[in-house]
């Protein structure tokens, strides 16, 4: 019996704002403890938070890059719990209405096809301070100190959706994290330096038998130090849960920690001990309404992801710099290309069809790539037919034109028009002879050394066959006859 | 009449005419403090030295320059839940007994800029939680008119100070009636402006969506003058309205002809003391004969206001008071604590008083998973209904006139063991906080020698109209 793995990440990203989320303190690392603090970020009585607009911009930018819908009205909520590094006794976070919801991140799935990993929400919250213990832990130390330099630093929490295309393997998990990190770096919202704690993740793991609809209890593994440990933790947790299931033993919904020394996960707290955070809307902060002007300006200020796309096109897809440049320019065009390339061996050829033929059709019709009547799948089919020699390029061009006008599939058009190519060599020779007889002047020009004129003769042959001849073969025959 | 008993308006005029100096007024206040403070306990911290220095500076400035702020050189007091840089701010709690803020609240900055003279920080119910100023870790405050009675609360120290001549005016905060009730009990004018009118930055939060700063004064004109110097937008408070300070003193002379005043049926019901009803109705007839039109109106959701208030206020309080954990500042019980959990437990058990703990527990319960919808979410819905009651009423009338308290001042100790009876003292005041509306209280006679008051409620950000009505009443009532 096979088991399906379901992995959902909760990633915390430290935003690269100059100042903290709710006060004017600067953000920095490696400085003396408590040198970047003020009455607000140390929770002094009477202080109030005021929202850093830049952080909202970066949050929305991330939401747009991750294909989320942006909520017009968002709110901050208080998450109440006691810990010495939490100066107010609550963390200002978001609960019911985060800034961004329902997005996805596209990664290459294990089957080789692209998968859109669902992202449930992206919200903004403040970081806590840091405890410094005289020995290993809070409980075991003679003295513990609190450094509030990090308190109030803006964090973006990106939560994946277990209901929409969740990650199903450790390779996908790795690709998801790497891709996510790259996108966030590309759009300039964070350096995402893992060793500086700017990119931290918790992971939810569960398993179910193939075909099973319902989810089994999941476990959450907290704060894993590196990408490598994440994979080990997921793998360990998967095996542990499968073994429990086979034994018929219950798996509890609980929070676990990854023990880096022993390479296993260990229980931290069960569901019954889960803290009740008593979330409620923060009365100190008003609702945030994001108008169209603001959203437009975020869109305008979005640094191009062009670099990432460019390198992907040249390295992974083998495109020329020129074609890659044309396709990477627009994210939607890039996505079109990636979708169309699924079944194609010669992706350079595909790129040519997009940047020359499809572009000119779109331009004439004054259409945008997102409104193309030829879907990436249909274009893929057309190019694939040519790749298998079932269609000449000239016919392909004519078919594409008709596909563009009718939105019909290539095979449909070909069948209807009996546009099968002329493969009989005798028939081709007789066409060429006819062309030579009809164009004696052109033939003389070719003989006198102006070889370009041969293209004219090829064109005439293609016209006579309504494009059903293979142009290269026609040229070969012409040369053989003219220069015997 | 002693200098310390005169209104701020009159003192301001005298200072400008150089008939008197700020130092003289301040000394008069300090002498009064010597006579009465031991008995009244209106102050937690007296700042006599600071006051005399500020008075001397104000005198020099008044000598040297014209166009000084109208409150320059006037002695005043600030409730001890408002942060003052370098001066301890206790909230009447053992938890903050030695807490000295590193910054000034926005209102304190404005009062410093206005060159007022700070006499000290006044007593209150711990963190503003109470209606009698008996819940204070620094002892209760007595009513200057009769020392066996409470001064009202939670701004009882501010009220007692102004009524006794220990300050010319005082700053208070009002979450459910905490300015208006003590103002009424001590025979003063008290105003809670519209939510968002005055910055809350530096006000130690009790219930953030209800808390508002205001003032306790000896006359309506004083009230308008103090309000002008406190109001205005503050970028440090996201809930502060982006409006400039209104012209309130100028507007007082406009009169009340044609103004429509509503009397809500739900506020004149069983439980209202007959002496109060009589004196409030007497105030109504004075205002009517000054040209205002009186109408009967209805605020149907009034009976739910107190329950709604105690759900929302305690929920917010439970969260707001979580920061007092013994880690960063304030009281810490560390002698017997073996771990962090017991340090929290001991610190909070010993640092907070009984009423504060009661409200934290109520608030924690109200927000708990499984109870949120039944209590907090429902209370928010009721709050909307209460707000809509007022919106409807204000389509028919320009302001609403009601009693402040259902009973005259009560005796010290009379209700301290009966929290429910204590909560009901707020029955006529909490709805305004829930709706965010401005209200002013004025004295309207006495019962058995103790002051009684009435309340005028206005539209949001229309403090001007209720001040005008109050001014006309004050002129024509002969008080």
Q: In what order do the strands lie in the sheet with A77-80?
A: A90-93, A77-80, A280-281
Instruction: Determine contact: B311 vs chain A, CB below 8 A.
Output: no
Once rounded to an integer, what is the mean pLDDT over residues A124-150?
87
CA angle A22, B371, A78 (to 5 degrees): 5
Burial B52-80 (b: 16+ CB within 10 A, else e): bebbbebbeebeeeeebbbbbbbbbbbbb
Looking at residue A351, its pLDDT comes to 92
As beta bridge partners, residue A7 has: A167, A205
Q: Identify the helix (H) or strand (E) that includes residue B150.
A: strand B146-150
CB contact under 8 A, B83 and A78: no
Q: Identify the helix (H) or strand (E) that includes residue A96.
A: none
User: For residue B247, is pLDDT > 80?
Assistant: yes
Q: Is residue B461 part of a domain?
A: yes
User: For residue A350, is pLDDT > 60?
Assistant: yes
Q: Is A313 in the same domain as A447?
A: no
Structural domain range at position B236: 3-258+440-477
**Helix residue spans in B208-304 (DSSP H):** 220-230, 274-289
Beta-carbon contacts of residue A450 (< 8 Å; ≥ 6 apart): none
CB contact under 8 A, A46 and B204: yes
A123 vs A303: which has the higher pLDDT: A123
Instruction: Rank A254-268, A359-373, A431-445, B436-450 by mean pLDDT and report only the highest.
Output: B436-450
Q: How much is the mean pLDDT over chain B?
A: 96
Structural domain range at position A381: 304-417
Q: DSSP letter for A19, please.
A: B
Q: Is A131 in the same domain as A257?
A: yes
Q: Is A278 in the same domain as A343?
A: no
Chain A, chain B: beta-carbon pairs less than 8 Å apart: 101
Instruction: Give catalytic status of residue B178 as yes or no.
Output: yes
For chain B, the first-to-last Cα distance in angstroms comes to 16
ipTM: 0.96
* A323 within 8 A of A356, measured Cβ to Cβ: no
3-class DSSP state of A168:
coil
Contacts of A48 in chain B (CB under 8 A): 200-201, 236-238
Q: Is residue B285 part of a domain?
A: no
pLDDT in tens, A176-224: 999 999 899 889 899 898 888 899 999 999 999 988 888 999 999 987 8
User: For residue A38, is pLDDT > 70?
Assistant: yes
Q: Is A412 in the same domain as A274?
A: no
Q: Is residue B331 part of a domain?
A: no
Burial A56-71 (b: 16+ CB within 10 A, else e): bbbbbbbbbbbbbebb
Instruction: Determine contact: A47 vs chain B, CB below 8 A.
Output: yes
- Count of CA atoms in the C-beta half-sphere (13 A) of B449: 7
Q: Is A358 in the same domain as A469?
A: no
Instruction: Determine contact: A146 vs chain B, CB below 8 A.
Output: yes
Q: DSSP letter for A337, please.
A: H
Instruction: Give catalytic status of residue B307 as yes or no.
Output: no
Q: DSSP letter for B176, please.
A: S
How buried is residue B200: exposed, middle or buried, by Cβ count under 10 Å (0-12/13-18/19+)? buried
3-class DSSP state of A124:
strand
Percent pLDDT > 70 in chain B is: 100
Q: What is the distance in angstroms between the Cα of B364 and the nearest Cα belonging to chain A?
A: 8
Once rounded to an integer, what is the mean pLDDT over residues B47-52?
98
What number of other Cβ atoms are within 10 A of residue A151's Cβ?
Answer: 29
Q: Which chain A residue has the Cα nearest residue B88?
A: A45
Among candidates A45, A87, A284 on the partner chain, residue whose Cβ is nearest the Cβ of B238: A284
- Please tell me the distance from the alpha carbon of residue B419 to that of residue B417, in angstroms, as a whole number: 6
pLDDT in tens, B368-414: 999 999 999 999 999 999 999 999 999 999 999 999 999 999 999 99
pLDDT in tens, A249-296: 888 889 999 988 888 999 988 888 888 999 999 999 999 999 999 999
Looking at residue B456, its pLDDT comes to 98
Structure tokens at A30: 């490696």
Instruction: Determine contact: B101 vs chain A, CB below 8 A.
Output: yes
Query: How many domains does chain B contain in total?
Result: 1
Instruction: Rank A139-143, A385-389, B108-112, B242-246 by mean pLDDT and report only the highest.
Output: B108-112
Q: DSSP letter for B373, please.
A: I
As separate numbers, helices (DSSP H) first and strands (DSSP E) second, chain A gives 16, 16
3-class DSSP state of A266:
strand
Q: Is A410 in the same domain as A346?
A: yes
As beta bridge partners, residue A118 has: A104
Q: Which chain B residue has the Cα nearest residue A275?
A: B369
The domain spanning residue A444 has which CATH number? 1.10.10
Given the structure tokens 């000598």, which residue do they identify?
B63
As beta bridge partners, residue B401 has: B456
Looking at residue A163, its pLDDT comes to 92
Given the structure tokens 């219950």, which residue do they identify?
A250
User: For residue A466, is pLDDT > 90?
Assistant: no
Looking at residue A1, its pLDDT comes to 59
How buried is residue B341: exposed, middle or buried, by Cβ count under 10 Å (0-12/13-18/19+)? exposed
CB contact under 8 A, B367 and A80: yes
Once rounded to an integer, what is the mean pLDDT over residues A457-463?
84
**Domain end: A417, A436, A464, which one?**
A417
Q: What is the distance in angstroms between the Cα of A76 and the nearest Cα belonging to chain B?
A: 12
Looking at residue A467, its pLDDT comes to 76
Query: How many domains does chain A contain in total?
Result: 3
Q: Is A272 in the same domain as A310?
A: no
Contacts of A275 in chain B (CB under 8 A): none
- Please tell me the distance from the alpha carbon of residue A63 to that of residue B358, in angstroms, as a whole number: 43
A460 vs B160: which has the higher pLDDT: B160
Structure tokens at B208: 């953030």
Q: Is residue B268 part of a domain?
A: no
Q: Is A371 in the same domain as A463?
A: no
Contacts of A283 in chain B (CB under 8 A): 207-209, 239, 316
Selected catalytic residue, list B28, B70, B79, B121: B79
Mutate to test the interface with B, among A48, A84, A129, A142 (most CBs of B within 10 A): A48
Q: Is residue B379 part of a domain?
A: no
pLDDT band at A418 (very low <50, low <70, confident <90, very high): low
Among candidates A43, A139, A280 on the partner chain, residue whose Cβ is nearest the Cβ of B323: A43
Strands A114-126 and A154-160: antiparallel
**Domain end: A276, A295, A314, which one?**
A295
- Please tell me the distance from the alpha carbon of residue B312 to that of residue B316, in angstroms, as a whole number: 6
Q: What is the distance in angstroms between the Cα of A282 and the nearest Cα belonging to chain B?
A: 9
Percent pLDDT > 70 in chain A is: 99
pLDDT in tens, A66-122: 999 999 999 999 999 999 999 999 999 999 999 999 999 999 889 888 899 999 999
Closest to A32 (Cα-Cα) out of A195, A149, A128: A149
CB contact under 8 A, A80 and B208: no
CB contact under 8 A, B236 and A139: no
How buried is residue B424: exposed, middle or buried, by Cβ count under 10 Å (0-12/13-18/19+)? middle
Q: Is A458 in the same domain as A400?
A: no
DSSP assignment of B283-322: HHHHHHHTT-EEEEE--TTGGGHHHHHHHHHHHHHHHHGG
3-class DSSP state of B369:
coil
Closest to A387 (Cα-Cα) out of A340, A424, A326: A340
Contacts of B344 in chain A (CB under 8 A): 82
Q: Is A149 in the same domain as A205?
A: yes
User: For residue A419, is pLDDT > 70?
Assistant: no
Residue B440's Cα: distance from chain center in Å? 10
Q: How much is the mean pLDDT over chain A?
A: 90
Once rounded to an integer, what is the mean pLDDT over residues B17-27?
97
Judged by phi (left if over 0) then psi (alpha if -120 to 50, else beta), residue B128 lies in: left
* B96 within 8 A of B33, measured Cβ to Cβ: no
Looking at residue B31, its pLDDT comes to 98
Helix, strand, coil shares of chain A, percent, nearest 5, are 40, 20, 40
- Please tell me the distance from the alpha carbon of residue B475 to that of residue B414, in angstroms, as a whole number: 35
Looking at residue A304, its pLDDT comes to 67
As beta bridge partners, residue A12 has: A157, A200
**Domain end: A417, A445, A468, which one?**
A417
CB contact under 8 A, A45 and B99: yes
Selected catalytic residue, list B136, B178, B199, B240: B178
Structure tokens at B282: 């007497």
CA angle A400, A402, A405 (to 5 degrees): 110
What number of other Cβ atoms are within 10 A of residue B46's Cβ?
Answer: 19
Once rounded to an integer, what is the mean pLDDT over residues B181-185?
98
**Omega before residue B154 within 30° of 0, cis:** yes
* B347 within 8 A of B329, measured Cβ to Cβ: no
Among candidates A39, A279, A283 on the partner chain, residue whose Cβ is nearest the Cβ of B208: A283
Looking at residue A437, its pLDDT comes to 87
Instruction: Determine contact: B381 vs chain A, CB below 8 A.
Output: no
pLDDT in tens, B308-345: 999 999 999 999 999 999 999 999 997 778 888 999 99
Q: What is the distance in angstroms between the Cα of B402 and the nearest Cα belonging to chain A?
A: 28
- Count of CA atoms in the C-beta half-sphere (13 A) of A215: 17
The domain spanning residue B51 has which CATH number? 3.90.1300.10
Mutate to test the interface with B, among A46, A79, A85, A90 (most CBs of B within 10 A): A46
- Please tell me the distance from the alpha carbon of residue A359 to that of residue B56, in angstroms, as a whole number: 82
* B383 within 8 A of B434, measured Cβ to Cβ: yes
What number of other Cβ atoms are within 10 A of residue A116's Cβ?
Answer: 14
Looking at residue A290, its pLDDT comes to 96
Q: Is A43 in the same domain as A89?
A: yes
Q: What is the distance in angstroms between the Cα of B103 and the nearest Cα belonging to chain A?
A: 8
Q: Is residue B336 part of a domain?
A: no
* B123 within 8 A of B43, measured Cβ to Cβ: yes
Instruction: Give catalytic status of residue B154 as yes or no.
Output: yes
User: For residue A138, is pLDDT > 80?
Assistant: no
Q: Is residue B176 part of a domain?
A: yes
User: For residue A336, is pLDDT > 60?
Assistant: yes
The residues in A 231-290 lying below 8 A from B, measured between CB atoms, are 276, 278-280, 283-286
User: For residue B479, is pLDDT > 60?
Assistant: no
pLDDT in tens, B84-104: 999 999 999 999 999 999 999
Segments of B70-138 assigned E as strands: 75-79, 117-122
């Amino acid at each position: 019996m096979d088991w399906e793995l379901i992995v959902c990440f909760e990633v915390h990203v430290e935003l690269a704002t100059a100042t903290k989320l709710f006060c004017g303190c600067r953000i920095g690392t490696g400085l003396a403890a408590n040198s970047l603090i003020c009455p607000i970020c140390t929770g002094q009585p009477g202080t109030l938070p005021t929202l850093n607009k830049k952080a909202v911009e970066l949050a929305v930018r991330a939401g747009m890059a991750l294909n989320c819908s942006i909520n017009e009205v968002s709110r901050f909520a208080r998450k109440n719990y006691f810990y010495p590094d939490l100066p107010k006794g609550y963390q200002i976070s978001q609960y019911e209405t985060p800034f961004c919801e329902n997005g996805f991140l596209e990664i290459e799935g294990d089957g080789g096809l692209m998968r859109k990993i669902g992202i449930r929400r992206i919200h903004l919250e403040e970081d806590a301070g840091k405890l410094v213990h005289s020995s290993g832990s809070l409980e075991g130390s003679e003295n513990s100190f609190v450094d509030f330099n990090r308190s109030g630093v803006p964090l973006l929490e990106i939560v994946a959706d277990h209901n929409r295309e969740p990650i199903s393997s450790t390779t996908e998990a790795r690709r998801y994290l790497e891709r996510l990190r790259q996108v966030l770096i590309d759009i300039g919202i964070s350096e995402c330096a893992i060793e500086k704690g700017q990119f931290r993740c918790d992971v939810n793991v569960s398993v179910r038998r193939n075909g099973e609809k319902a989810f089994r209890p999941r476990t959450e593994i907290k704060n894993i130090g590196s990408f490598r440990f994440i994979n080990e933790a997921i793998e360990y947790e998967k095996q542990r849960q499968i073994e429990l299931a086979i034994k018929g033993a219950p798996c509890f919904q609980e929070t676990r920690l990854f023990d880096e020394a022993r390479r296993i996960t260990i229980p931290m707290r069960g569901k019954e001990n889960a803290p009740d955070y008593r979330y409620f809307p923060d009365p100190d902060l008003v609702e945030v309404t994001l108008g169209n002007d603001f959203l437009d300006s975020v869109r305008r200020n979005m640094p191009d992801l062009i670099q990432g796309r460019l390198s992907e096109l040249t390295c992974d897809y083998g495109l020329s710099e020129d074609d890659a440049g044309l396709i990477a320019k627009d994210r939607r065009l890039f996505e079109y290309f990636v979708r169309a390339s699924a079944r194609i061996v010669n992706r350079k050829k595909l790129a040519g069809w997009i940047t020359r033929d499809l572009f000119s059709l779109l331009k004439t019709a004054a259409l945008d790539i997102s409104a193309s009547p030829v879907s990436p799948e249909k274009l893929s089919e057309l190019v694939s037919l040519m790749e298998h020699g079932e269609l000449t390029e000239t016919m392909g061009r004519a078919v594409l034109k008709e596909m563009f006008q009718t939105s019909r599939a290539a095979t449909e058009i070909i069948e209807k028009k009996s546009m099968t190519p002329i493969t009989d060599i005798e028939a081709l020779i007789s066409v060429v002879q006819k062309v030579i007889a009809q164009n004696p002047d052109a033939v003389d020009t070719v003989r006198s050394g102006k070889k370009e004129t041969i293209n004219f003769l090829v064109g005439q042959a293609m016209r006579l066959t309504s494009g059903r001849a293979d142009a290269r073969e026609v040229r070969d025959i012409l040369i053989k006859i003219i220069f015997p | 009449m002693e200098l310390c008993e005169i209104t701020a308006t009159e003192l301001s005029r005298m200072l400008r005419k150089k008939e008197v100096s700020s130092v003289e007024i301040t000394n008069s206040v300090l002498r009064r403090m010597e006579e009465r403070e031991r008995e009244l306990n209106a102050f937690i911290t007296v700042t006599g030295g600071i006051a005399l220095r500020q008075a001397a500076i104000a005198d020099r400035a008044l000598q040297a320059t014209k166009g000084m702020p109208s409150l320059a050189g006037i002695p005043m007091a600030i409730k001890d839940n408002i942060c003052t840089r370098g001066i301890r701010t206790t909230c009447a709690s053992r938890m903050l007994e030695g807490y000295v803020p590193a910054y000034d609240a926005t209102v304190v900055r404005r009062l410093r800029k206005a060159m007022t003279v700070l006499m000290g920080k006044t007593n209150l119910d711990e963190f503003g939680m109470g209606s009698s100023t008996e819940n204070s870790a620094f002892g209760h405050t007595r009513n200057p008119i009769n020392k066996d009675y409470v001064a009202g609360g939670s701004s009882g120290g501010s009220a007692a100070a102004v009524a006794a001549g220990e300050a010319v005016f005082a700053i208070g905060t009002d979450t459910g009636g905490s300015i208006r009730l003590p103002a009424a009990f001590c025979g003063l004018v008290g105003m809670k402006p519209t939510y968002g009118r005055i910055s809350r930055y530096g006000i130690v939060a009790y219930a953030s969506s209800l808390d508002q700063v205001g003032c306790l004064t000896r006359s309506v004109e004083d009230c308008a003058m103090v309000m002008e110097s406190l109001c205005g937008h503050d970028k440090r408070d996201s809930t502060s309205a982006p409006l400039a300070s209104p012209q309130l003193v100028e507007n007082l002379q406009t009169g009340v002809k044609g103004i429509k005043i509503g009397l809500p049926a739900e506020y004149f019901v069983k439980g209202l003391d007959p002496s109060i009803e009589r004196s409030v109705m007497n105030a109504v007839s004075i205002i009517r004969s000054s040209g205002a039109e009186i109408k009967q109106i209805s605020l149907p959701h009034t009976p739910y206001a107190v329950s709604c208030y105690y759900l929302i206020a305690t929920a917010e309080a439970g969260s707001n008071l979580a920061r007092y954990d013994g880690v960063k500042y304030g009281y810490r019980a560390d002698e017997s604590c073996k771990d962090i959990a017991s340090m929290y437990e001991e610190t909070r058990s010993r640092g907070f008083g009984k009423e504060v703990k009661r409200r934290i527990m109520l608030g924690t319960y109200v927000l708990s998973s499984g109870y949120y919808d039944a209590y907090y979410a429902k209370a928010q819905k009721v709050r909307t209904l209460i707000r809509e009651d007022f919106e409807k009423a204000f389509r028919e009338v320009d302001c609403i006139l009601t009693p402040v308290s259902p009973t005259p001042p009560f005796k010290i100790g009379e209700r301290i063991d009966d929290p429910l009876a204590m909560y009901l003292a707020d029955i006529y005041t909490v709805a305004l906080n829930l709706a965010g509306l401005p209200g002013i209280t004025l004295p309207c006679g006495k019962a058995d020698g103790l002051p009684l008051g009435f309340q005028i409620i206005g539209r949001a950000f229309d403090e001007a109209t209720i001040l005008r009505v109050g001014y006309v009443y004050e002129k024509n009532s002969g008080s």
